[in-house]
Amino acid sequence: MDMIDVEPMFTRSDGDYLFARWGRPIVPVVFGVDDATLSVVKGAIEAVVVLAGHQMAETDPELGVNLMMFVFREWDELVETPDLDRLVPDLGPLVVRLKAAEANQYRHFRFDETGAIKAAFVFVRMDAEMEQVPAEDIALAQAAQTILLWSDVAFRDKGPLARIGENVVLRPDIAAVIRAGYDKVMPSAAIDPSHALRLAARVARDLPV
């Protein structure tokens, strides 16, 4: 991968470079799905965590759970969820914006004092488009987009998944960036674009020629 390809993945629409990875083990919980789908979602999260070389845990000592995924049909359901507005600031105005944009997904992150991710809230609205996507694919895509703080436009034109034959998998370049982002010598958070050069060097070694 050319080094210049990595920087846009973490350069936000306002032009700022911002990278962050999880600084603590991930403890997920999923709302709005049946037991079978719950297993699929947690399996996808675990697969991406293993890919990253990160960890999962049974509980977070500060928060209890730190990765919450909500699956629902209408954005207004979030406003009706008890205490969610305490976890996601300005939830009401956010829902208004998401409804106006006819969005079917959104991710909100919280960070610790070092800038590393300490919690994430994943919202998936099952509209007509999402209804056509297998649960396995939705789960894998959301897990990949939550394991790092990607740019808000990183997947605007091309999602994190690829089809190989009859199977849907993480794009090799995305998988390589995730592994590079969790390299133990790399920082948990960065705002300097030179960080992308260090990432890209590791990605180039990881991807086949």
User: Average pLDDT for residues 154-181, to the nearest whole number?
Assistant: 93
77-103: average pLDDT: 94
Distance, first Cα to last Cα, the chain: 9
Percentage of the chain beyond pLDDT 70 is: 97
Q: What is the mean pLDDT of residues 182-189?
A: 97
Q: Give the pLDDT of residue 90.
A: 94
CA distance 185 to 167: 33
The mean of the pLDDT values for the chain is 94
- Per DSSP bridges, beta strands 167-170 and 161-164 are antiparallel
pTM score over 0.75: yes
pLDDT average, residue stretch 174-195: 96
Question: Across the strands, what pairs with 111?
Answer: 117
Q: In the predicted model, is pLDDT for residue 164 greater than 90?
A: no
Give the β-pairing of 67-72 and 105-111: unpaired
DSSP label at residue 2? -
Rounded CA separation 125/71 (Å): 6
